[in-house]
Chain A
Amino acid sequence: MYGFEAMTFNIHGGYLEAIVRGHRSGLLTTADYNNLCQCETLDDIKMHLSATEYGPYLQNEPSPLHTTTIVEKCTLKLVDDYKHMLCQATEPLSTFLEYITYGHMIDNVVLIVTGTLHERDVQELLEKCHPLGMFDSIATLAVAQNMRELYRLVLVDTPLAPYFPECITSEDLDDMSIEIMRNTLYKAYLEDFYRFCQKLGGATAEIMSDLLAFEADRRAVNITINSIGTELTRDDRRKLYSNFGLFYPYGHEELAVCEDIDQVRAVMEKYPPYQSIFAKLSYGESQMLDKAFYEEEVKRHCLAFEQQFHYAVFFAYMRLREQEIRNLMWISECVAQNQKSRVHDSVVFIF
């Protein structure tokens, strides 16, 4: 019953909640970002990060550093934190933690399939996969010629299997079908995660509903903007929107027929929680929209830590850490390209 988690949560979840709150306090602060933004070289960035929780992961990396190396090593920190929490978790928290990684699994599947279509070496593709989305038979994806084979040979034994029946065809894979597969899988995954959180009930259901609804709405906007001027039809676009969220169902009907960014803006401004996002942008501008969405996402994830005895803190921590890694990637790129004046274009401060 919602409100009585304080009596029983700590029996199974108390230790891990304490662990994740400890990890949260290790996230980089504004002072850390100010120091990083003043670095002249990637070695300077490595030196500043050595005093943070990323220190042990970067200390043995030889110079000259590359931005992808910094991102890979920082991602390893996230993976280690996640694996520690997963191995200590009991049901239903362990299932909840596994749900967090399915998005990366979908990205890895699409990466392998797309790379194979472009005649790339499988080993090279596996090195680019996100470590949180790996599974045992992932390399076998390279032999599939169409979605039916993808499902039958590999994915039927993975957690993504329930999401596949909606997009199985026997047609050969091409760029458009892969894109539709990606978005259909992600839609099914988000809806399934949403239903799971609703079943958990209590504070987890309430907070996760808000976070997942925002994720679904953001995906709807990004799909709309990215499909403007492409061959994706309005009906196909509509089918890629999730069946929950603030925009469902009337906002989706309007987004499906948008032909430019200003029409998307007009749709979003009808919803008060999203008015502040577009208030920061001028008409016709879409370049800063991603940053505006990330800022809103970070704000919501930080608020998740204000309440105790729920699982949303784990989800929020993973997302905040991913945002931090994105920030580090952007700062590294600006330093490497000698464009430090542009560093604040995309950095999203967490605290």
Chain B
Amino acid sequence: MEEERREVCLNGEEEEVVIKDEDKVALQFMDSLHNYLSLSDSLSSTLRQGWLELASARYSMGTSRVNSSLLDLKFHSAATILKITENEDGKFCVFTCFFMMPFCNITCTTLYDSIGTQPHFTLQKWVSSEHELESTKLEYKNEQPQDSNSIKSSENLMGLADNDEVQKERHKSLSVFGVLISPKLRATQLSFEKALETLIEIANLRSSLLHSFSQLNQEVEDTKE
């Protein structure tokens, strides 16, 4: 069992504190759990805001202009890509899921966790001009790991910089409701976009939580033996 020795100042005197490896994992687990709960609350309030803004947009524009029967059923490239990487026995498996906008119609949410693996989720937003693929398509690839030991905190990778092109992509997704739409509908889109980002952060945190939990369990069993 690895130990780490740190000098901590208590009551004006420096003392040496031994931090065991299992304590570090336990602290990491509790930190992740706290962040997970905070993000869940944040997601809930963001979604509530989004749904209310959608109702407000229907109030302003009218029910004939904002309703589900206007959503586009034609095939078109997805606006957002979710990449799931999983490290198992030294190999990286990449799952790619495509999301349809404008209100983040999640078409693929299948994830799995197994002991010893830690999936990592990455979002690429507004990449429909770069990828000429059908939406709702699930792709499976085996690739060589670039960094098998990296455990990154959740991050969002923008397929395009947050500039005019992103605004164009946003307008394009909302064009199903018309070109001259209320600012409230645009605010709705931003709320659901933020909710999607929060979901990805939650997924990464959950992955970290489960990984820490499985490590703790393993160490407890090792101790019993």
Residues of A within 8 A of B (CB): 68, 71, 107-108, 110-111, 114-115, 118-120, 124-125, 127-130, 175-176, 178-179, 182-183, 222-223, 225-227, 229-232, 286-287, 290, 326, 329-330, 333-334, 337, 339, 342, 345-346
CB-defined contacts of B62 to chain A, threshold 8 Å: 107
A193–B188 Cα gap in the complex (Å)?
35
Known contacts A118-B73, A118-B74, A124-B69, A230 near B55 by CB under 8 Å: no
Q: Are A226 and B182 in contact (CB under 8 A)?
A: yes
Q: Which of B46-94 contact A (CB under 8 A)?
A: 48, 51-52, 55-56, 58-60, 62-65, 67, 69-74
Interface SS, B side: helix
**The residue from A118, A287, A339 contacting B71, defined by CB atoms under 8 A apart:** A118
CB-defined contacts of A129 to chain B, threshold 8 Å: 64
Chain A residue with the shortest CB-CB distance to B167: A229
Q: What is the CB-to-nearest-CB distance from B180 to chain A, in angstroms, rounded to a whole number?
A: 4
**The residue from B70, B179, B183 contacting A111, defined by CB atoms under 8 A apart:** B70
CB-defined contacts of B55 to chain A, threshold 8 Å: 329-330, 333-334, 337
Interface size on B, residues (CB 8 A): 31
CB-defined contacts of B58 to chain A, threshold 8 Å: 329, 333
Most chain A beta-carbon neighbours within 10 Å: one of B74, B180, B183: B180
Known contacts A290-B182, A345-B56, A119 near B73 by CB under 8 Å: yes
CB-defined contacts of B67 to chain A, threshold 8 Å: 128
Known contacts A129-B64, A175-B175, A229-B167, A346 near B180 by CB under 8 Å: no
What are 12 A-B interface contacts by the 8 Å CB criterion? A107-B64, A107-B65, A111-B69, A118-B72, A175-B176, A175-B179, A179-B179, A226-B182, A226-B183, A231-B179, A326-B59, A329-B55
A250–B187 Cα gap in the complex (Å)?
31
CB-defined contacts of A333 to chain B, threshold 8 Å: 52, 55, 58
Q: Which of B166-225 contact A (CB under 8 A)?
A: 167, 171, 175-176, 178-184, 187
Q: Are B51 and A346 in contact (CB under 8 A)?
A: no
A322–B45 Cα gap in the complex (Å)?
31
A334–B58 Cα gap in the complex (Å)?
13
Q: Are A342 and B69 in contact (CB under 8 A)?
A: no
CB-defined contacts of B181 to chain A, threshold 8 Å: 226
Q: Are A230 and B171 in contact (CB under 8 A)?
A: yes
A115–B66 Cα gap in the complex (Å)?
12
A227–B186 Cα gap in the complex (Å)?
12
Q: Are B179 and A342 in contact (CB under 8 A)?
A: no
Q: What is the CB-to-nearest-CB distance from A228 to chain B, in angstroms, rounded to a whole number?
A: 8
CB-defined contacts of B52 to chain A, threshold 8 Å: 333-334, 337, 339, 342
CB-defined contacts of B48 to chain A, threshold 8 Å: 337, 339
Known contacts A290-B60, A346-B56, A120 near B178 by CB under 8 Å: no
